[in-house]
Amino acid sequence: MGGQRRSDLHPEVEAMLSALESFPDVTQHTAAELREIIASRRAPLTREPQMRIAQDRSIDGPGGELAVRVYVPHGGSRARPVVVFAHGGGFVFCDLDSHDEFCRSMAQAVDVVVVSVDYRRAPEHPGPAALEDMYAAVRWTADHAAEFGADPERLMVAGDSAGGNLAATVSLAARDRGGPAIAAQVLLYPVIDDDFTTESYRLYGENYYNTTKAMRWYWQQYAPHGTDSPYLVPTRAESLAGLPRAIVATAELDPPCSAGDDYARRLAAAGVPVITHCFDGLFHGFLTFPSLSLTGPAREKLWQMMRDVLASTAGSEAPAAADARGAAG
């Protein structure tokens, strides 16, 4: 990509961003080509950390069979909370394997069962196909949680990037359709909307790995007929009242950062308990880069926020909003 970046970045972040300049220009490839290129660059699966159960299942989805991967950590006999997880990848690429290590780490650190969803991807399946798959997985998980030692009363949804959009929109769908009950939504640098004029797009739309050009392309693949529906863009909803409590974690150097921060404020204004945290000096996708030294401490911050939210769902009401803004390290 070239160009100038801020001179005050952590040296590892600068080095990582330089390395990521070799990421393909998504606008120059078909979706199938992109998936092949990205899969070919992926390191072999480590299957770490080890799980007591890591099982692929096929469930009924609105478009046919829908694959999910269920992770159950070692230890403990009590029913665990369960997280239904949607991976990122611009609605176009990535899969269960791309986020395998992240889901395992979440399951172990937060002591939860994780159900990762292999939703249909754009452009072959434009939105809201992915959202409807996510909703089907939430319903299946609520019905089958006990099979994996999970508690359907403590069901959370989570996702990173495009998956953060799906976690937000499935929360709306579950509210509007009368269930299943979702205890919390965890939105990790979520792709909330298609407004490319925000401050973070202006400041970080080039030279920071994720770009305005790429984001426009992702939205064209996912929503070729427009984004009027709240099940595509959650801010289109008439009201955000009655949604599950939320964790909204953004990355400062990410073009969608401003929209994520704004969505957290909107949720809080609608009476939804919200914990927000902006990871200063970090870029889109960093949580799935475990080799970056800043990622470990940032993940621990996220895991603790998730544990805190789970504790609050079991007890007294949390305050309407809490701001945990700070540095990653």
Q: What is the pLDDT of residues 181-239, one digit of tens each?
A: 999 999 999 999 999 999 999 999 999 999 999 999 999 999 999 999 999 999 999 99
The residues annotated as belonging to the active site are 161
pTM, to two decimals: 0.94
Taking residues 235-246, report their average pLDDT: 98
Q: How far apart are the first and last CA of the chain?
A: 27
Q: Which two tokens stand for residue 286?
A: 């960093």
Predicted confidence at residue 247, as pLDDT, reads 98
Asked if the 11-327 domain carries CATH number 3.20.20.70, the reply is no
CA distances from 230 to 173, 227, 234, 235 (A): 9, 8, 4, 6
Predicted confidence at residue 315, as pLDDT, reads 52
What are the DSSP E strand ranges found in 118-211?
150-160, 184-188
Whether residue 325 is predicted with pLDDT greater than 90 in this model: the reply is no
Q: Give the Cα separation of 279 and 140 in Å (integer).
A: 33
Q: Where are the domains positioned within the chain?
A: 11-327
For all residues of the chain together, what is the average pLDDT?
A: 94
**Among 20, 7, 41, 8, which Cα is nearest to 286's?**
20
What stretch of H or E contains 216?
helix 212-222
Taking residues 73-87, report their average pLDDT: 94
CB-based contacts of 193: which residues, under 8 Å, 6+ apart? 227, 233, 234, 235, 259
Whether residue 82 is predicted with pLDDT greater than 90 in this model: the reply is yes
Whether residue 111 is predicted with pLDDT greater than 90 in this model: the reply is yes
Lowest-confidence segment of 26-30, 120-124, 298-302, 322-326 by average pLDDT: 322-326
